[in-house]
Structure 1
Amino acid sequence: MVHVILTHEVKDFFAWKKVYEEGEPLRTKSGIKMTGVYTSVDNPNQVTLTGECASAELVYRFMSQPELKAAMQAAGVISAPDMKVLNKV
């Protein structure tokens, strides 16, 4: 099991959140379980997500899907994601 922390900036958090919630089936199909959604106290449009997945390979495969890239664009993501894939020790 790996843990994922992903941060990116969006144009409008509430518009992004709607598209994010609609993406649950794609995440489930890909084996990604999200465990948290956070916004920065300094910038409410800077979003950090946490999640879990069986392997790093599945995470990277999920992140490279054209459907995800299209959804992120539709959601108003305006910065490249900063992603960390971690092993719990």
Structure 2
Amino acid sequence: MQHVLIIHEVEDYQIWKKVFDRATDIRKKAGEISYQVLKYENEPNKIVHFSVWTSITDAKAFFESPELVKIRKEAGVKAPEFIYLEELESGVL
């Protein structure tokens, strides 16, 4: 499994969420398989987007695309940090 962890601050979570939801089809088409959205405990506008992708190459192509740069601006995203991860192991306890 290939994962992407994105940590970013947003101007307003509700605005970000609307834009995020509108992008569902393009995220799926780009190779996103599943996702989780989390927030920092005491910072409601500090968002973590953790997702599973078909490949790191697909994820990088999507997140670095001019289309997504425009979408992030519309969503009020401030300085996103992208971390591309390859799964070594997983389990359920």
TM-score, normalised on structure 1?
0.92
SS at match of 2:42: coil
Contact 2:33 2:54 in 1 (8 A): no
> Where does the alignment leave 5 or more consecutive residues of structure 1 unmatched?
none
Displacement of 1:86 after TM fit?
A: 1.0
Q: Of the two, which has the highest radius of gyration?
A: 2
> Where does the alignment leave 5 or more consecutive residues of structure 2 unmatched?
89-93
State how far apart, in whole Å, the 2-side matches of 1:73 and 1:20 are.
12
State how far apart, in whole Å, the 1-side matches of 2:26 and 2:45 are.
23
State how far apart, in whole Å, the 2-side matches of 1:34 and 1:8 are.
19
After TM superposition, where is structure 1 displaced by more than 4 Å over at least 4 residues in a row? none
State how far apart, in whole Å, the 2-side matches of 1:76 and 1:34 are.
23
Contact 1:10 1:45 in 2 (8 A): yes
State how far apart, in whole Å, the 2-side matches of 1:86 and 1:7 are.
14
Q: Structure 1: which amino acid aligns with 2:57?
A: E
Task: Look up the match of 2:58.
Answer: 58
Which residues in structure 2 correspond to 1:1-89 (within 5 Å)?
1-78=1-78, 80-89=79-88
Q: Structure 1: which amino acid aligns with 2:20?
A: Y
State how far apart, in whole Å, the 1-side matches of 2:42 and 2:34 are.
23
Higher strand share: 2
State how far apart, in whole Å, the 1-side matches of 2:52 and 2:85 are.
9
TM-score, normalised on structure 2?
0.88
Displacement of 1:32 after TM fit?
A: 1.1
Displacement of 1:5 after TM fit?
A: 0.8
Number of residue pairs aligned between Structure 1 and Structure 2: 88
